[in-house]
Amino acid sequence: MSEWKAKRFWKEAAPIESDNGYEIHLDGRPVKTPAKAALVVPVRTLAEEIAAEWNAQPEQIDPLSMPFTRSANAALDKVARQHGEVADLLAAYGDSDMTCYRADAPETLVTRQAEAWDPVLDWAREAHGIVLEPVIGVMHRPQDEAALRRIRDITHAMTAFELTAFHDLVGLSGSFLLGLAAHDDFEPAETIWSRSTVDETWQQEQWGLDEEAAEMAAAKRAGFLHAARLAEILRSNR
């Protein structure tokens, strides 16, 4: 038996301004989230991106080709309802941030980690007052409580949509600081992604490229760049 797939039933999707933001209408009817909430987004550009995804659908709908729609659904159905829990989950990355755990050998890897991560630590200190201390090895060492309070304040101050983008920036990079750097547009998202893959890149150079690992890495990179684009769109509404 072939798998059932939803079919396109509309001719045109369009962003429509509403009292709370922007809705997406299909032939004049508002789109709902999977939880049946109104799909209302805070920025017109985001609504236009979502409408473009719906307009680009062929006869059979492919949800995987609609990342902005999926992000909006997650923000409304999940993050908005669990904002504090999500904020705490992401803040917890700060106490064991990847950029703070360094190799002691070989020298080439030590140098690459320092070149990739030290500028981010410096930026976080100057831009946000977050002072995290790097250590050698992988054994956990608690960070300063003042820094962790500052990290929690930042995550809890984000809107549900900002936190949705930030969730993927942190989770996919494995670092609170790298996620924050992308969220704040410290530098191009592609550059920040490269900073997050220093260890993997070094290992590939030593042992060769694994095809399955490469496919997973490509998917993670695409997700990270999408989240960075979402954060960029949301910044335009500040």
> What CATH number did the domain enclosing 196 receive?
1.10.3580.10
Number of compact structural domains in the chain: 2
pLDDT digits (tens, 9 = 90+) for 63-113: 889 999 999 999 999 999 999 999 999 999 999 999 999 999 999 999 999
Give strand pairing partners of 22. 17, 41
Residues 103 and 220 in one domain: yes
The domain in which residue 87 lies consists of 83-235
User: Which of 34, 64, 79 corresponds to the end of one domain?
Assistant: 79
Asked whether residue 97 is assigned to any structural domain, the reply reads: yes
Residues 48 and 107 in one domain: no
% the chain with pLDDT above 90: 86
Asked whether residue 6 is assigned to any structural domain, the reply reads: no
Taking the whole predicted model, whether its pTM rises above 0.85 is answered as yes
Residues 161 and 122 in one domain: yes
Residues 164 and 230 in one domain: yes
Residues 61 and 89 in one domain: no
Asked whether residue 5 is assigned to any structural domain, the reply reads: no
Which of 44-48, 151-155, 201-205 shows the lowest per-residue confidence on average (mean pLDDT)? Answer: 201-205
Residues 186 and 120 in one domain: yes
What is the chain written as a DSSP string?
-PPP--B---S-EEEEEETTEEEEEETTEE-B-TTS-B-EES-HHHHHHHHHHHHT--SB--GGG-HHHHHHHHIIIIITTSHHHHHHHHHGGGGG-GGGEE--S-HHHHHHHHHHHHHHHHHHHHHH------EESSS--PPPHHHHHHHHHHHHTS-HHHHHHHHHHHHHHT-HHHHHHHHTTSS-HHHHHHHHTHHHHHHHHHH---HHHHHHHHHHHHHHHHHHHHHHHHHTT-
pLDDT digits (tens, 9 = 90+) for 196-210: 999 999 988 888 878
More confident residue, 8 or 123: 123
Indicate which CATH number applies to the domain containing 69: 3.30.2180.10
Residues 151 and 216 in one domain: yes
